[in-house]
Amino acid sequence: MMESVDIRPLTLHDDIETVASFARDVWNEYYIPLIGRAQVDYMLGRFQSAGAIREQLDSGYEYFVVRRSGALIGYLSVKPEPAAGELFISKLYLHKSSRGSGTGRRCMEFIEQLARQRGLTRLWLTVNKGNPSVRVYERLGFRIAADVVIDIGSGFVMDDYRMEKVLRSTESEAHPAGAQ
């Protein structure tokens, strides 16, 4: 049986450098074949440096680190958008050696639970159109809702799909006593 994963919040008091360094390794391994080294370097600097993560933590983004047997195997980041009733999934990255064995599904269950606890009814994310993870998200109940082409400066463009998942009400929502 696969050992269970541990998903914990990352706070401004934690070791953010280690997460930024992990992000650098995963993005270099995964994204260079998809979008090229120049755009990966640019995006890492803008969005996943330790400084950028600190700024996001200060502006409504919540980060969580995923560990198995104490080892860092992934991270995720979400932003609640209460006015829209939505939770934006900004990041979800697992180390290569931890993909394809159910951890991503486990992380998505965690995210769904978080959304329900906050009274949010829809998850959304953007994903590069050429990223095979589009299929994973479909498998996890998301559907492609729109094309999103975003100019991120310095001549780079994110050519993404917006994907969405509507959360159906559950027993825990009908009886919110246990919710926080």
Ligand X SMILES: CC(C)(COP(=O)(O)OP(=O)(O)OC[C@H]1O[C@@H](n2cnc3c(N)ncnc32)[C@H](O)[C@@H]1OP(=O)(O)O)[C@@H](O)C(=O)NCCC(=O)NCCS
Q: Is 136 in the site for ligand X (CB under 6 A)?
A: yes
Judged by CB under 6 A, the number of residues near ligand X is: 20
The neighbouring-strand residues paired with 72 are 67
**Gap between the Cα atoms of 113 and 72, Å rounded:** 22
Q: How far is the CB of 24 from ligand X (least distance, A)?
A: 13
Q: Is 102 in the site for ligand X (CB under 6 A)?
A: yes
Q: Which is nearer to ligand X, 12 or 150 (CB)?
A: 150
Q: Which is nearer to ligand X, 120 or 125 (CB)?
A: 125
Out of 57, 66, 104, 123, point to the residue binding ligand X (CB under 6 A).
104
Closest C-alpha among 31, 20, 106 to residue 66: 106
Q: Is 113 in the site for ligand X (CB under 6 A)?
A: no
Q: First CA to last CA across the chain, in angstroms?
A: 31
> CB under 6 A: which stretch of 12-20, 41-49, 50-58, 132-140 binds ligand X?
132-140
Interface positions, 35-54, toward ligand X (CB under 6 A)? none
3-state secondary structure of 113: helix
Closest C-alpha among 148, 161, 163, 152 to residue 47: 152
Q: Is 30 in the site for ligand X (CB under 6 A)?
A: yes
- Cα–Cα distances in Å, from 170 out to 121, 140, 162? 11, 17, 25
Out of 58, 70, 135, 151, point to the residue binding ligand X (CB under 6 A).
135
Q: How far is the CB of 50 from ligand X (least distance, A)?
A: 20
**Gap between the Cα atoms of 153 and 74, Å rounded:** 27
User: H or E stretch including 47?
Assistant: helix 37-47
> Which residues bind to ligand X, rule: CB under 6 A?
30, 92-94, 99-105, 125, 127, 131-133, 135-136, 139-140
